């Protein structure tokens, strides 16, 4: 059975705004059910372990989907969400692939978390596929190749765009802008129109632009893992 690790944020404060943040529900729920329905074994992890914080905005009616409603009503999914394993207890050897959902939370913790950085570098070194969507590609900012170069240098990637962040009114709130940071690290960043589904694959690295891209990114990851195992 294929085993996938889904890495969630533990950060729940939206800068100094007084508002809550965390992971974006659709970006967990849509891939989660792509993987489960494909017969994969799913493990949820986060830096602190335990319950990963949900961005409350992502569960408002305007952002709900069939998958988010399924996840909310799924007792087993809710149990997993409440008992995520600590990221520092995870071994790359135990998983075939890794998926990072977004939400604004990862910009504060996963982007700076040494265990997350090490995990991503080890996944790449092991020749295993990895996918990150929306703000989660920001977690690549400090990842490096064995020779010390930025991991994304020369790689085709996407992620939450400057114009999408501007639309959200959070350009001055977030610690960095995903698009600007990846470009600064030498990535070849491309994008679609605001909030349109857009996924980029470069070798074993898959990135998605926004919430609508999370399911399609999971589909590409499943296809990539299937081809690798063929």
* pLDDT tier, 227 (very low <50, low <70, confident <90, very high otherwise): confident
Query: CA dihedral in degrees (108, 142, 125, 225; nearest 10)?
Result: 40
Two structure tokens written together for 117: 């950085």
**Cβ-contact 200, 206 below 8 angstroms:** yes
Q: Which structural domains are found in the chain, ordered by start?
A: 3-229 (3.40.50.880)
Two structure tokens written together for 228: 């690798």
Model pLDDT for residues 57-107, shown as the tens digit of each residue = 999 999 999 999 999 999 999 999 999 999 999 999 999 999 999 999 999
* pLDDT tier, 193 (very low <50, low <70, confident <90, very high otherwise): very high
Model pLDDT for residues 104-138, shown as the tens digit of each residue = 999 999 999 999 999 999 999 999 999 999 999 99
Residues 6+ apart with CB under 8 A from 42: 4, 6, 32, 35, 36, 80
Mean pLDDT of 46-59: 98
Strands (E), the chain: 3-7, 41-46, 85-86, 97-100, 130-133, 156-157, 188-189, 199-202, 205-208
**pTM exceeds 0.75 for this model:** yes
Q: For residue 127, how many other CB atoms are within 10 A of its CB?
A: 9
- The per-residue b/e assignment along 137-163, b for 16 or more CB within 10 angstroms, e otherwise, is bbbbbbbbeeeeebbbeebebbbbbee
The residue among 129, 103, 102, 98 whose CA lies nearest residue 115 is 98
Two structure tokens written together for 143: 């990842």
């Amino acid at each position: 059975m294929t085993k996938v690790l889904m890495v969630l944020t533990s950060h729940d404060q939206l800068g100094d705004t007084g508002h809550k943040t965390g992971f974006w529900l659709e970006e967990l729920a849509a891939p989660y059910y792509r993987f489960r329905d494909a017969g994969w074994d799913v493990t949820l992890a986060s830096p602190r372990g335990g319950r990963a914080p949900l961005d409350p905005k992502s569960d408002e009616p305007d952002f709900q989907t069939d998958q988010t409603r399924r996840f909310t009503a799924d007792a087993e999914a809710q149990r997993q969400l409440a008992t995520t394993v600590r990221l520092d207890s995870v071994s790359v050897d135990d998983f075939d692939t890794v998926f990072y959902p977004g939400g604004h939370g990862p910009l504060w913790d996963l982007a700076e978390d040494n265990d997350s950085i090490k995990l991503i570098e080890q996944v790449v070194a092991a020749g295993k596929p990895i996918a990150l969507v929306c703000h989660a590609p920001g977690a690549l900012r400090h990842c490096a190749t064995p020779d010390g170069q930025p991991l994304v240098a020369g790689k085709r990637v996407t992620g939450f765009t400057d114009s999408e962040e501007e639309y959200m009114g959070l350009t001055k709130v977030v610690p960095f802008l995903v698009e600007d940071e990846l470009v600064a690290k030498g990535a070849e960043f491309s994008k679609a129109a605001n909030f349109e589904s857009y996924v980029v694959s470069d070798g074993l690295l898959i990135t998605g632009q926004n919430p609508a891209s999370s399911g399609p990114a999971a589909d590409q990851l499943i296809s990539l893992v299937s081809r690798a195992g063929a």
